[in-house]
Amino acid sequence: MSVLARVFVILNFVLAIVYLSVAATLYHHKFDWRMQFQKIKYDYVEMKNFYKSQLRTRGEIINSYKDYLEMKEHQVSLLELAMQNIASDLEVALVHEATVKQDLVTVLNQHTKALMILSEKDNIIDEITKARDSFHRQFTIALKEKDTAENQVAALTRVVTDQHRDLAEVRQYLTKIKRERNDLRLQIEALRRIGIPVEMLAKRGAMPQIDAVVTSYKEPVRLVVLNVGSEHGVRTGFYFTIFDGGNFVAQVEVEKVMPRLCGTRVIFSTGPIREGMQATTRLY
């Protein structure tokens, strides 16, 4: 039942009560029916106007409730639209989150590759540092050799000056050379008599003059270590003659060359080899 119907029902009920009250009053008090009727009519009009006013007020309240309901329905529509927008934004956020995760994986892979590159870079830096240290050592050696060469050039310059000034001494030296040549012939004959193959030694290729000293001798393996190496021009296959004073002791062949040392193997010997003996590539 609607509100308006309820109002009419109440109104009828009230009117019925009023009519009953009026009838009871007239019956008990016997008032003037005309005056009472006018009064009842007046009360009825007043009550009718009152209830009309109430009906208008109720109608206004109902209309306000209708407007309120329409407003709430509009708000619900707005909320549904907002929920749809939120759901759409949530889907976009989920897609963005997946993209961010994929980007994060890519960044982590790049970070791993960067760490590997840095590790390789550290290894390269270590190699460069070692190469730099080696170059520095070689450069220091080169400077020392340069100083030695400069000293030798200065000495050679003095020698040339002395040669121009001492030509007489050169002639005397030539005479001395002739005597030494005769002595060499005698020494060669002596070497032949003791069984040294002088002709084979003489046929070997020319070698630079390199003087050395025996630093170690391992008799079981016939290994002789000399104090000269690649920095002095020694190469594998060079031959050194070892002397004790002016006496021939042994002939050795270079098998292993290091910067400042070389290892040689004894080819033949005429006596014991000791540390401190002189060795040279010249054949006396």
Alpha-carbon torsion, ordered 65, 70, 71, 73, to 10 deg:
120
Distance CA 13, CA 7 (A): 10
Q: What pLDDT score was predicted for residue 272?
A: 92
Confidence of residue 226 (pLDDT cuts 50, 70, 90): very high
Q: Is the distance from CB of 242 to CB of 279 less than 8 angstroms?
A: yes
Q: What pLDDT score was predicted for residue 202?
A: 57
Under DSSP, the state recorded for 201 is H
Instruction: Please name every residue paired with 241 in a beta bridge, in sequence order, or none if there are none.
Output: 251, 280
Confidence of residue 266 (pLDDT cuts 50, 70, 90): very high
Average pLDDT over residues 124-142: 84
Instruction: Identify which has the larger pLDDT, 162 or 143.
Output: 143
Q: What pLDDT score was predicted for residue 65?
A: 77
39-43: Cβ within 8 A, 24+ apart: 43/18
**What are the tens digits of pLDDT across the range 158-197?**
877 877 776 777 677 778 777 877 776 776 676 666 656 5
Q: What pLDDT score was predicted for residue 145?
A: 85
Q: What pLDDT score was predicted for residue 125?
A: 85
Contacts of 284 (CB under 8 A, 6+ apart): 184, 187, 241, 243, 246, 248
Average pLDDT over residues 124-149: 84
Share of the chain above pLDDT 90, in %: 20
Q: Is the distance from CB of 276 to CB of 213 less than 8 angstroms?
A: yes
Could you tell me the maximum CA-CA distance found in the chain, to the nearest angstrom? 195
Instruction: Identify which has the larger pLDDT, 275 or 36.
Output: 275
Q: What pLDDT score was predicted for residue 34?
A: 63
**What are the tens digits of pLDDT across the range 18-74?**
888 877 776 666 555 567 667 777 877 888 788 788 888 888 888 887 888 888 888
**What are the tens digits of pLDDT across the range 228-261?**
999 999 999 999 999 988 888 999 999 999 999 9
**What are the tens digits of pLDDT across the range 79-102?**
888 888 888 888 887 888 888 888
Average pLDDT over residues 142-151: 83
Average pLDDT over residues 135-147: 84
Mean pLDDT, the chain, rounded, equals: 81
